[in-house]
Amino acid sequence: MSMRRAASPTGPVHGRTRTAASAARRRALLSPLLLALTAVGLTSCDTPPPLDLCAWTAEPAKSGLGRTVVLVDTSASFHDGAASTSVRDPREAVADYVEKAVAHKESVSVAAFGGGGPTGLRWQKTRSTDWAAEDDNPDSRSQLRTDAVACVQKDVAAAARSTPVTNGTDVLAALRAAGGVLARTSGPRRLVVVSDGLPTTGCADLTRALFRNDAEIDAIAQVCHDRKELTERSLSAVRVVFVGLGQPAADQPVPTAAQQQWLGALWKRLCDGAHPPGDHTAGCDVVDTQLTVQRPARTPSSAQPTNAADPVVTYGDKHRQRYRLPGAALFDKDSAVLRPGAKTVLTRIAVTARSLPGARVSVDGYVDPRGDPADDGPLSQARADAVKDMLQELGVTRITAQGRGQPADCPRGGPAGGSPSGPDRLQCARRVDIEVDA
């Protein structure tokens, strides 16, 4: 039986699901009788289960409404490990795209991906978000629309929590698989890719890339074209947006601003090459949204173990590696005391530093703009010193630590400038940078 109900003779359906209104009417009619029966001890019913506010999204969608696919990278280089005290939460970064898909009543599919291969994409449920079907009550439609966004975001969070099951990172394999799914879509096709964009397998393997110029991008694109890992019809009529490029896991080296720009140009080129010439319905965008860092809802001991591994991308210089550690992975708000889990991340960096004879390590501490400016210098210095002390305990020598206050290289908000305390800026600003230079 369909979960969607048509409007009743006396008025439209009103409720948070298609069956909520009729259920509410039944409860209203039965309540006096149930109360009377309860009074004389004639009932022994269990409490009914709560309504599944996402149940109606499992129904088939009408043809022609379109589809959005959200891909979440869970490969080892992008996925914060089981011992981490924080995880990147992509829900805020994809919120605008999810809300737009729901506003257009599209179907939305969410999948996790890693190294490609036979396991490919790990799909969550495909949800129909047609909140207007068979329901013309404005209040009910508004609530269903809100519920649809929440249901999709629940899938995004579930995908982000999944652990990598294959070695390496193959973003192109995920794009091909998603393109194949979207090719069967009638209506608008959209693809949102949440990834650091640092593949370590396939034609776009960046473990040996120099991250220097357009000629290198041309060479990578030609190799991918020759191997047919991405063809001119892989993403036909698909609008693509990349989120999180150049933002690997906390224990991985990060690119400089120039290298991050090179990375964005690479993916724009590869993505454009996956569309037929003159495909004006599609396009490829790269946004610099900073991924939100959250304390995990689960404890590290409850995380699923994984043996998946990923080679390190060193951006063309194996003797200089930069790490950008989000403040949420190291410190509580307004604190310079390292969290217990910070030692796990810093241990991996210490091992790298100790493996390079004569390596020099610099630690730069930063703060976000929410506090008293007079405290910026002392707090950022205290955080840098705390990281330096821990690295020394882990056997690293030749370390300098500097408090930098507020950084100057963080986003300032939206197109109109936005708030200096917007989420993107806060995620970028509240951090510690470590550079290991041999």
Average pLDDT, the chain: 83
Burial (Cβ within 10 Å: 0-12, 13-18, ≥19) of residue 114: buried
Taking 90 as the threshold, does the pLDDT of residue 77 lie above it? no
Closest CA to 153 of 83, 90, 74: 90
Instruction: Indicate the range of 136-140, 211-215, 393-397, 408-412 predicted with least confidence.
Output: 408-412
Domains of the chain: 58-294 (3.40.50), 319-437 (3.30.1330.60)
Better pLDDT: 236 or 84 = 236
Residues of 206-222 as b/e, b for ≥16 C-beta within 10 angstroms?
beebebeeeeebeebbe
Percentage of the residues of the chain whose pLDDT score is greater than 90: 51
CB 53 within 8 Å of CB 295:
no
What is the C-alpha separation between 228 and 231, in angstroms, rounded?
A: 6
Tell me, what's the pLDDT at 43? Answer: 46
**What phi and psi values does residue 203 have, to the nearest 5 degrees?**
-65, -20
Residue found under tokens 């001991």: 301
Residue found under tokens 């008025």: 11
Closest CA to 270 of 173, 167, 187: 173
Tell me, what's the pLDDT at 436? Answer: 94
Please list the alpha-helical segments (H only) found in 54-137.
91-103
Quick one: pLDDT band at residue 38, thresholds 50, 70, 90?
A: very low
Tell me, what's the pLDDT at 363? Answer: 97
Question: Quick check: helix, strand or coil at residue 428?
Answer: helix
Quick one: pLDDT band at residue 73, thresholds 50, 70, 90?
A: very high
Quick one: pLDDT band at residue 165, thresholds 50, 70, 90?
A: confident
Residues 6+ apart with CB under 8 A from 179: 191, 234, 235, 236, 238, 274
CB 164 within 8 Å of CB 114:
yes
Quick one: pLDDT band at residue 26, thresholds 50, 70, 90?
A: very low
Tell me, what's the pLDDT at 291? Answer: 87
Quick one: pLDDT band at residue 119, thresholds 50, 70, 90?
A: low
What is the C-alpha separation between 422 and 437, in angstroms, rounded?
A: 33
User: What pTM was estimated for this model as a whole?
Assistant: 0.80
Instruction: Indicate the range of 66-80, 137-151, 189-203, 401-415 predicted with least confidence.
Output: 401-415
